[in-house]
Amino acid sequence: MGRKKQTREPERTAADYYRLNTKAVDDLVTADASNSPKVSREELNRYRSGPKVHLSDWVKVILVKWWFAGAVCFFFLWGLGTVVQNRENQLIIVGLAMGFVTDLLVNNIFRYYAKTPGGNDRWMMFPKKGFVSLPLNILYAFVLLACIIGTYNAVNALCLVISGQKDTVPVGVGPILFGLFATMWDLVFLGVKRMMKRIVSDAGKQVKNGHA
């Protein structure tokens, strides 16, 4: 039997490899939502690194707000307590720190991990970033600080009534409770803000439908 003649593949030159690689790079650079194959979220999650525990958005919001508010209490209220003796000056520093931290850190964190642009705006009192956002967040921080102080006073008054003791402070100021109270009041004000926007929007729709 005759030996079958083998066909030999043509050898690729360096120019062929160069054209192949440049095409792959061009395809990668020009890839967008219109020319890329659709991949399910389950498939994407298989290749994601990091912990497998996925937290809900509202849980992340609470943890971030609570942690940073507690950090402000720890560093500025506790840390400066021995340096700044005047109580009013301490509160001014804490209010300023809360405003700066909210505007420069907390809100930017929310913007960073938002799944869509503006997806976390509802968790920010002043979501629009600009020169005005910092002074507005500082003013808002002083409102929150006043509510936090009022909450501490109410909790201590209630504890004194229950225990019957006088001239004591049952619940002192600490990062954990401070952050908890700050987050609680922040979420309350955000809820009021959303409710007011809904009322105004519904009223606008009714007026528009009435004139239609």
143-188: pLDDT as tens digits: 999 999 999 999 999 998 888 887 788 888 999 999 999 999 999 9
d(CA 189, CA 92): 21
Q: How many CA within 13 A on the CB side of residue 210?
A: 6
- 50 occurs within a structural domain: no
If one counts the domains in the chain, the total is 1
d(CA 22, CA 141): 54
- 142 occurs within a structural domain: yes
**Minimal CA–CA distance to 104: which of 64, 63, 144, 134?**
134
79-127: pLDDT as tens digits: 887 788 888 999 999 999 999 999 999 999 999 988 888 999 999 999 9
Residue 32 has pLDDT above 80, yes or no: no
- The answer, as to whether pTM is greater than 0.85, is no
- 3 occurs within a structural domain: no
Which residue range is the domain that position 159 belongs to? 57-196
- 202 occurs within a structural domain: no
- 45 occurs within a structural domain: no
- 135 occurs within a structural domain: yes
